[in-house]
Amino acid sequence: MQQMYDVHPNAKIGENVTISNFTTIGDDVVIGDGTWIGPNVTIFPGARIGKNCKIFPGAVIAAVPQDLKFAGEVSYVEVGDNTVIRECVTIHRGTAASGKYLTKVGSGCLLMAYVHIAHDCVVGDNCILASYTGLAGEVVLDDMANLGGVVLIHQFCHIGSYTMLGGGNTVTKDVPPFVLASRNPVVFEGVNIVGMRRKGFSNETIEEVRDIYRLIYRGGM
């Protein structure tokens, strides 16, 4: 069967990469070994995709940012290994104004359908972002953060490791590690005990985190 896709001759494609029909890969793109790219994907210049990723139809990676300060500077999107990018996810390049020139998604992440990651965001390893969740510019998600569907994160917010954010919430402030957060606007509702147990934290460590949480958020401080 004849393959119908457009790969720029300067793109660097690793071994055993699958590129499906009607996909476009631009100049200055690097795709790691074993990555699968579905149909109708667009990967713009400046993308760096790791090994063994899966990119589903309609995804757009490394488009220019929706930031009026962007002036056409060279910038990048970096995606780690073993990350799954589902249908119609958008990940935009970094900017000079931030000083980063880079939007980064770590390894082992799952970005469900219609997730948006704006310019200069940093998403750690093994994060899960459910469908229709959006990160505004320069948001930081630490490793193992878990965001429910239709979560909106305001620019410059920092979400800690092992957090669990309930679906349909608007986050306009930093969220500390290990915390359960929900409602609109978001409030903290305790410690992510289930998530910590699933990741192998000892009971002693979990109790220590709970004591710290109580001290800070329920101790009148």
**Splitting the chain (221 residues) into consecutive groups of 10 residues, what average pLDDT does each group show?**
82 97 97 98 98 98 96 97 98 96 98 98 98 98 97 97 94 95 89 93 95 88 71
116 assigned to active site: no
| Whole-prediction pTM | 0.94
CA distance between the termini of the chain: 67
The one catalytic residue in 67, 120, 125, 142 is 120
119 assigned to active site: yes
Cβ-based burial of 88 (10 A; exposed 0-12, middle 13-18, buried ≥19): middle
Q: What is the pLDDT of residues 120-158, one digit of tens each?
A: 999 999 999 999 999 999 999 999 999 999 999 999 999
6 assigned to active site: no
Q: Distance between CA 69 and CA 98 in Å, rounded?
A: 10
Say which residue the tokens 């393959």 belong to. Answer: 3
